[in-house]
Amino acid sequence: MTSKIFGLLFLTLTFATAASANDRVSDRVEAQPSAAPTIIAVPNTAGYGVTIVPAHVTRLLTQAYDLARNTFVGDLHDVSGVAYASEKTVVATPPSQRELDFQMTPEIKTFLTYFTAGRGRGVAIRGVFRSEAYRADAQRIFREEGVPADLIWLAQVESAWQPKAVSPVGACGIWQFIPATGERFGMTCSGDDADERMDFEKSTRGAAKYLKWLNKRYDGNWPLAIGAYNCGEGGMDRAIARAGGVEDFWVISRAGLLPAETANYVPAVLAATIFGSDPARYELDNRYADSSELAGLTASNATKPSSATK
């Protein structure tokens, strides 16, 4: 956790008036009219700003903050039906071998175990297999755009590296751009084979540009930027506002202020950057795959589409 969050000060004021129903922060949290609001000193780049936050939100933030201080506590809820991994279950690739710097959390460890030794292993192996045709060029493009190359593994969580993937809500391609965002980053979105969201070069550069833009928006905070890639910057901004301006993904997520999908998305992406940096270390390359894990995959359908099919 960042030193900024360790600097949070919670100073309670007693007010005679009750918190209104508008103070609810999510469907998970019931407003408690008798609770007094709280002043939170929120650290930021300019110093400390003061925000009044409802007391029930403060309790959630305090619990999340306490959890952030002790990363390996055992009393945590399950994620996607997978129990949290013990500290010794997995050994992450040394940070010195990665371009993206982040602190290991229980959530990341859960997904790393899920992908390398759990029910997600088959998906990870198939994604690693498909990615072989794309990784070098994706890394080049991300580096050209000033984005850590490790973040190409966001594609694993978005589409398992499937260039023709289409979601029920109309997102498509390896990077799963919806039409509005695709057009925002220079792609034509026709919904057919000419749709540039399925063009590897253009969509990959668009993904890198979008991630760079989000990272700048959140002052270099990659977990917030990655989360915003999933829920949109508007959704992330609202979650930060509900947290009284606390700009720490893990605190916001553990307080229940983000959609469940986004709360799982960020640790899944960060776990993918770990095993993606060295698939063989986690026995995820095709040398370790059985026939069922690579069923339907061949070298011919795991390569980049030709210019005629883009």
* Tokens read off for 92: 């992450």
Q: What is the rounded CA–CA span in Å between residue 229 and residue 280?
A: 28
From the number of C-beta atoms within 10 Å of its C-beta (0-12, 13-18, 19+), residue 10 rates as middle
Strand order in the sheet with 38-44: 9-12, 38-44, 47-53
Per-residue pLDDT of the chain (310 residues; tens, 9 = 90+): 333 333 332 222 222 222 222 222 233 222 333 344 333 333 333 333 333 444 555 555 555 544 444 332 222 233 333 333 333 334 455 555 678 989 999 999 999 999 999 999 999 999 999 999 999 999 999 999 999 999 999 999 999 999 999 999 999 999 999 999 999 999 999 877 789 999 999 999 999 999 999 999 999 999 999 999 999 999 999 999 999 999 999 999 999 999 999 999 999 999 999 999 999 999 998 765 555 555 555 443 444 443 322 2
Question: Could you identify the residue written with the tokens 């899944």?
Answer: 268
Angle at 103 between CA 125 and CA 124, to 5 degrees: 5
Q: Decide if 273 contacts 98 (C-beta within 8 A).
A: yes
CB atoms < 10 A from the CB of 23, how many? 19
Please choose, from the candidates 35, 71, 69, 34, the residue with its C-alpha nearest in 3D space to the C-alpha of residue 53: 35
Please choose, from the candidates 185, 221, 226, 229, the residue with its C-alpha nearest in 3D space to the C-alpha of residue 205: 185
Catalytic residue among 107, 158, 196, 247: 158
User: What's the pLDDT score for residue 39?
Assistant: 38
Contacts of 24 (CB under 8 A, 6+ apart): 30, 31
Q: Is 9 helix (H, G, I), strand (E, B) or coil?
A: strand
Element containing residue 42 per DSSP (H, E):
strand 38-44
DSSP classification of residue 29: -
Tens of pLDDT, residues 191-246: 777 899 999 999 999 999 999 999 999 999 999 999 999 999 999 999 999 999 99
Tens of pLDDT, residues 54-87: 455 555 555 554 444 433 222 223 333 333 333 3
Read off the pTM.
Answer: 0.69
Give me the sign of the Cα torsion angle 146, 137, 270, 168. Answer: positive
| Assigned fold of 74-302 | Lysozyme (1.10.530)
Asked if 158 is an active-site residue, the reply is yes
Helix axes 121-131, 260-276, angle to 10 degrees: 60
Beta bridge partners of 82: 79
Q: Tell me the pLDDT of the chain averaged across its residues.
A: 73
Question: Could you identify the residue written with the tokens 């407003």?
Answer: 31
